[in-house]
Amino acid sequence: MTVEDYQAGQVLLIDKPLNWTSFQAVNKLRWEIRQAFTIKKIKVGHAGTLDPLATGLLIICTGKMTKQIDTFQGQIKEYTGTIILGSTTPSFDLETEINEIFETSHITEDLIHDTTKQFIGEINQFPPIFSALKKDGKRLYEYARAGEEVEIKSRKITINSFEITKIDSNLVDFKVICSKGTYIRSLANDFGKALNSGGHLSALRRTKIGDFHVDNALSLDDFIKKLPKKD
């Protein structure tokens, strides 16, 4: 592709690596495109944040295609991941240490499968306090890291499908198809509560956004290798 292609607008499918923020991935690609074509600036943005501890599909738009970001963000998303039952963390994932341990001896495979039914359809969900949502000009995670309490309002989201794909003791693998704005970390936490226990997310991968699939995405390294090299 030429610099004109990127400026006219491209939709790039990137498989975001673990421990990268979506913002870092966008910045890296913007810098690499600028270096490859020796240009001072180019518009680059992503359509839907992935947490640093999540991997998978990130839609990145360049040039005039950045105007389509809202359209992509509104599309149905698919995730796979693992929930650990019997314990919770403040961030609902592995970003923070376990803060409570719960009994799990009452949990059966049938109960796990039956409990997913409570989450199908339109539900109210509270976003995690460790999230990038803003309240009064500050990110929620800034309040959380400062130890400040803040009121978080629930939001209506839709879970189209919640499938358990494997159960190995307290490790529960799943696949979820859901609407924009769904926090899978919150789903893991709420799922643990619904089982009269606790739960937190130990792995998460976004596999689809609308008709876009992670199988068609490039790693950051592979994308960079395809850019023209300076002589």
Q: Any idea which residues carry the catalytic annotation?
A: 51
Sign of the Cα torsion 207, 114, 200, 83 reads: negative
Give the position of tokens 């673990």.
18
57, 134, 190, 198 from 149: Cα distances, Å: 33, 14, 20, 21
Q: How many DSSP H helices and E strands does the chain contain?
A: 7, 14
**Residue 30: Cβ-neighbour burial (10 angstroms; 0-12, 13-18, 19+):** middle
Q: 136 Cβ partners below 8 Å, 6+ apart?
A: none
Instruction: State the maximum Cα–Cα separation within the chain, in Å, rounded to a whole number.
Output: 65
Contact 86, 103 (CB under 8 A): yes
Contact 213, 207 (CB under 8 A): yes
